[in-house]
Amino acid sequence: MVRRLPVSSSSQSPSSDTRECRCEDPQPPGYLGGCTIWRTRIACCVNPSMNPDEMLQRFRAVVAYDGTEFAGFQAQEHVGRPVRTVQAALEHAVLLATGYSARVVGAGRTDRGVHASGQVVHFDLPVACALRGTGMLSALNSRLPPDLRVLVIEPVSADFHARFSATSRCYRYTIENSVVGLPTNRRSAWNVRRPLSVIAMNEALGRIIGSHDFAAFGVRVGSDPTRRVVLRAHASITGVPRTGAVCSSDAAPDPSVGRAVSGEIWHTSRQCDPHCEPAASIVVIEVEANAFLRHMMRRLVGTLVRVGHLRVAPDVMDTLLVVPSRGLVGPAAPPHGLCLVHVAYDGIRLSPRYRASPGS
């Protein structure tokens, strides 16, 4: 149930002072209606015979965040104290903007350090709430921290559920394939020094498309099944020149220097001058599936890097999907290179600006 709470400008999480509205409590003589705990007029108190579900409006929102300073999406506590999470920050902003406490539900529970550019959430507010459209968008963003923003918000039917109505999620992992990583990429890309074969990585990715058991890559929660359906998986690469200098040396090739050509790493045909910085390569891995196991995407990327380094053959994926073996799985890639870029729903088309790619 949505609860009307006293609004405070404190940055303390609302979850620490929220209590249920108990409308059945005895009301004092002459009380004009409202919760006997919070002394505010809300619909369920003014007219107890009304069904609370009939008075609520559900909202869907697309949110983006830099996950570096968040302990993940889901609200949680550490030693009895709330920690900084995306869900808690959104719920606090809703409280400050509307005066109502509402539970925010996300499509994906991203881990600590994981980013999002297309996370989808929903929450319910009383129909009496005056904020609508761009007014609510501005009100929420003005109360959110700078590393969290609401991109789109719109009313939806009550049967929409951000998590259970979703038909697929798309995650993108970014690797900076360079001997020296740029400081500007340190929060959003994993710096891998050795050259990667993207052709080998794509061959491995092609083997995971379809319905498979990903127990080797994910963490099972209770008795939940580990079979997932991968709809699309692809790795792409682009070259990023560090300087405008041109190498002029005619010395022998240096196998440590790589460039991107037609989706593959190739070595330069000449030795670069010591004062000329080698080109970097940005490798982007996108996987779209009906759902993901916890750590599944990061362990997939860790295994793909081993394939890209030619340490294991691409057909290692066939083995792992049939006989789960953690010994063959690469270490989980760091969380900061991962981003939730798109969540799809049947019959719902958000602005193309927030889609993972033109083909998604």
**Concatenated DSSP letters of 68-108:** GG-S-SS--EETTEE---HHHHHHHHHHHHHSEE---EES-
| pLDDT tens for each residue of 307-318 | 999 999 999 999
Count of residues for the chain?
Answer: 360
Residue ranges and CATH numbers for the domains of the chain are: 3-26+33-156 (3.30.70.580), 168-350 (3.30.70.660)
What residue ranges of the chain have pLDDT lower than 50? 1, 5-48, 53, 243-278, 351-360
Burial class (CB in 10 A: 0-12, 13-18, 19+), 16: exposed
pLDDT given for residue 79 in this prediction: 62
Cα dihedral 107/111/115/116 (nearest 10): 0
Counting Cα atoms < 13 Å in the Cβ hemisphere of 330 gives 23
Q: Are 141 and 132 in contact (CB under 8 A)?
A: no
Task: Give the position of tokens 């109502």.
Answer: 100
- Catalytic residue at 111? yes
Q: Are 356 and 341 in contact (CB under 8 A)?
A: yes
**Catalytic annotation, pick one of 111, 159, 318, 346:** 111
Give phi and psi for 176, each to the nearest 5: -95, 105
